[in-house]
Chain A
Amino acid sequence: MNLQAVRHALNGLGIMGMNHRNALYIGPLNPRHAYPTVDNKRLTKRLAAEHGIPTPELYGVIEAHRQVRDLPRLVEGRPEFVVKPCRGAAGNGIVLIASHDEKRVVKPSGEQVAWEELTYHVATILSGVHSLEGLEDEALIEAFIHVDPTFEAVTYRGVPDVRIIVYRGVPTMAMVRLPTKRSDGRANLHQGAIGAGIAIGTGTTMAAVQGRQVVSHHPDTGEPVAGIAVPHWDRILEIAARGYEMTGLGYLGADVVIDRSHGPVLLELNARPGLAIQLANQDGLRHRLMQAEAAWRPGLGVPERVALARSLFA
């Protein structure tokens, strides 16, 4: 491998490296004080509501150990729900429940566990086992997200999510992460989920990768992953673009999931989004960020920025 040639080629494609991202985008554009708004999912939810951004419906929050036994009452009449740590990272500590009765809860896989086991899990969330800093945490009880029919054929368990890189409110690059058997139903590229690039102008998926391997079909379902028109695309772009006003982060990654009945909802925002999206898109971020930067004007509203993104990155 000729390093100099590779470096040259990558620069030509406008691929962005970690140092470049940290020094030129995250450092100058993301003020430190804005981080808590994205690290704490409850805070993200509240802010999102203020900005008219939908998030998964919140059934309740368990803040203290004495509230743990209220959990069954909290989900009464709601067969499906999700338990997640407020400050969790990388999807750790999230438990999906598909149904429950007085004695036990049932996971989507059909596995049945006693209520005590679930309440114990909530207690461990509170004590900070799943929050990376090990600080005390809260447990969010949220609505269950149902996979949109568009993605059913290319999803193994789990729910796909759309990741959009947003430069000062302008969506610049997008991909959808499709859970696989290898990723154990999680939409996490590190763990083996598929990343399929999305053309921002049209909202249809293009090339896809699993790890560093280009793939054209979902390995578990065998269905093609390119050419899928992402539903509610304009709304998804709008949600991502609003993340800028909401957090003040000039460089962020918005994670949006599409619920079958409620449409796109914001799952979380990320102040240090990864660079793998470039592999999924077979394209570099640097060129796109420079285009967005050149076209950006102060005072551009959300619809204008979405329109700008769709015309720039057609």
Chain B
Amino acid sequence: MRRSIAPLAIALALLGIAGTVYRSLSIGYPLFPRITERIWAARLAVEWEGPQAWVDVLLPREGIRQSILDERISSGSLEATVASDPGGQRRLRWRGEGASTASYEADISVRLLQAAPAPAPDRSPWLRTDELPGPVVAAARRVTASLPPGTAARRCFELMANPAASPLGLAEDLGRLRTGAGSLSEALVVCWRSAGLPARVVQVLPLRPGIYSRLEIFPEVFEHGRWAAADLAGRRFPVSTQDLLIWTAGERSLVETAKGGPVKWQIELRRRPLTLWTEFFRQTADRSSLLARWSLYSLPPNVQEVFRILLLVPIGALVVAALRNVVGFATFGTFMPILIAIAFRQTGLTYGLLLFTLLVGVGYAVRLSIDRYKLLLVPRLSVILTFVIGCLALLSLVAHRLGFQNVAGVGLLPMVIMTMTIERFFVVAEESGAHAALTMAASTGAVASITYVLISWEYLQLLFFTYPELLLVVVAGQLALGRYVGFRLTELWRFRRLTEGT
């Protein structure tokens, strides 16, 4: 009567696994890819007013922790040249007339793991003190002369970070040093150099996606074979540069022009998780294997981005099915949680959940207030939709004023889906009470969060993207689940009282 599903499920699972193993063996794809670095795309756009004979920008550094994979310069009608100074700092110069905008783009790979200390390069430029006025340098010498050797790096930092605690005899020299050096960071650098330690300032960006129009400045000292950065504002030394992108070293400003004058620039930082994999595919693409040529890596990058997520949606569906049929979560709509999870990818989990709660709350209030008018279904949904979008516009404005990011992503939250959720929430609240509706909303949120975490798992994305045949294994799981006739966990709870007599 009920044909067994096991043979089909097992066959599909085996087929999927076989395809994966074959692809892995024949083409040499790694089965357990390790993510050891992240790729960031940085785009520097410069805009100036009036004609300029030249415009210089400093290019990002390469070092033990970061390297540049690819660079693109768009100069329009300008002529671009790249020069490197003796310290290794590269400089891009645009020359010519006509255009007053230009941009530079780089893919920068940042290693996640701690790299071994680099072989000592020439650090003599970082010991020079001759660019500063003599009295300042002399003051710095007097300050550092009093410091016990071996602790000079930390003591210098403490003197600069905490001016109130300066020792009696040094107050005058420290004051001269601070006022004479231009900035506190520079004073600290001079202090370090006077103590015989190579020191510099670095201009950095936080490794977070966003648009920046200012570089942060961190003084650094070379000690025990590596650079250690100081955070003067936060009074911490040494601080980790793990989540920083070091753009340049030295105090020079990022953009300089021949005549000076107003220059606007901004750097947009984006994560490019798949770039490494694209590289990897290029290495294997020349293999004659059919599977290698028919890989998803051969799709255009923007399509790849879409499939990276899409391929995980079936797993999301499997999870939703399991949570509904095995655990017994009651959710609004069957696949509503998946759609909400995809929307969360635009907003982030915390913010997304907050928004979900807020929108359902506002929508419910609207629905409640228009209930007495007994509107037809579609116009009624339209009213809710309009209010939801209006509320969102207001929220974006407020968030923008308060300086929150992520707000731009909000628009992509599927509004219509939210509207339907609100309507279902209302119907359930009417029929089975507010408690049931809230439980349902909470489990929808929970299922969406679980699904979100799963589809955001980068390793899983890469695995399914590289081995799409693993979807067969997912189908096998779905088939098996389709024949689960046991109790749901919530039913054990629902009927538990019946077992008390036995």
Binding site for B on A (CB under 8 A): 1, 3, 5-7, 9-10, 12-13, 15, 17-20, 23-24, 89-90, 92, 120, 124, 127-129, 132, 134, 190-191, 212, 214, 275, 278-279, 282, 284
Binding site for A on B (CB under 8 A): 2, 325, 328, 374-378, 427, 430-433, 436, 483-489, 491-499, 501-502
B483 and A23 contacting across the interface, CB-CB below 8 Å: yes
A129 and B498 contacting across the interface, CB-CB below 8 Å: no
Q: In the complex, which of the residues B325, B430, B496 contacts A6, with contact meaning CB atoms closer than 8 Å?
A: B496
A18 and B377 contacting across the interface, CB-CB below 8 Å: no
Residue of A nearest to B427 (CB): A132
A17 and B427 contacting across the interface, CB-CB below 8 Å: no
A7 and B374 contacting across the interface, CB-CB below 8 Å: no
Q: How far is the CA of A166 from the CA of B498 in the complex (A)?
A: 22
> Chain A's interface: helix, strand, loop or mixed, by majority?
helix
Expressed in whole angstroms, the minimum distance between the Cβ of B344 and any Cβ of chain A is 28
B489 and A3 contacting across the interface, CB-CB below 8 Å: yes
A17 and B491 contacting across the interface, CB-CB below 8 Å: yes
B433 and A10 contacting across the interface, CB-CB below 8 Å: no
Q: Please, which residues of chain B bring their CB within 8 A of the CB of A24?
A: 2, 485
Expressed in whole angstroms, the minimum distance between the Cβ of B295 and any Cβ of chain A is 38
Q: How far is the CA of A212 from the CA of B490 in the complex (A)?
A: 13
B376 and A127 contacting across the interface, CB-CB below 8 Å: yes
Q: In the complex, which of the residues A18, A282, A284 contacts B488, with contact meaning CB atoms closer than 8 Å?
A: A18
Q: Please, which residues of chain B bring their CB within 8 A of the CB of A134?
A: 376-378
B489 and A191 contacting across the interface, CB-CB below 8 Å: no
Expressed in whole angstroms, the minimum distance between the Cβ of B431 and any Cβ of chain A is 5
Q: In the complex, which of the residues A90, A132, A279 contacts B498, with contact meaning CB atoms closer than 8 Å?
A: A279
Q: How far is the CA of A124 from the CA of B494 in the complex (A)?
A: 37
B502 and A19 contacting across the interface, CB-CB below 8 Å: no
A124 and B374 contacting across the interface, CB-CB below 8 Å: yes
Residue of B nearest to A214 (CB): B497
B498 and A19 contacting across the interface, CB-CB below 8 Å: no
B489 and A15 contacting across the interface, CB-CB below 8 Å: no
A-B contact pairs, 15 of them (CB 8 A): A1-B493, A9-B498, A9-B499, A10-B492, A10-B495, A10-B498, A15-B498, A17-B488, A18-B325, A24-B485, A128-B376, A129-B374, A129-B377, A190-B436, A279-B498
Q: In the complex, which of the residues B2, B377, B488 contacts A19, with contact meaning CB atoms closer than 8 Å?
A: B488
A15 and B495 contacting across the interface, CB-CB below 8 Å: yes
B374 and A191 contacting across the interface, CB-CB below 8 Å: no
B484 and A19 contacting across the interface, CB-CB below 8 Å: yes
Residue of B nearest to A11 (CB): B487
Q: Please, which residues of chain B bring their CB within 8 A of the CB of A18?
A: 325, 328, 488, 491
Residue of B nearest to A90 (CB): B431
A10 and B431 contacting across the interface, CB-CB below 8 Å: no
A10-B487, A10-B498, A120-B374 are known; give 7 further A-B pairs, CB within 8 A.
Answer: A15-B495, A18-B488, A19-B484, A23-B484, A90-B431, A190-B436, A191-B432
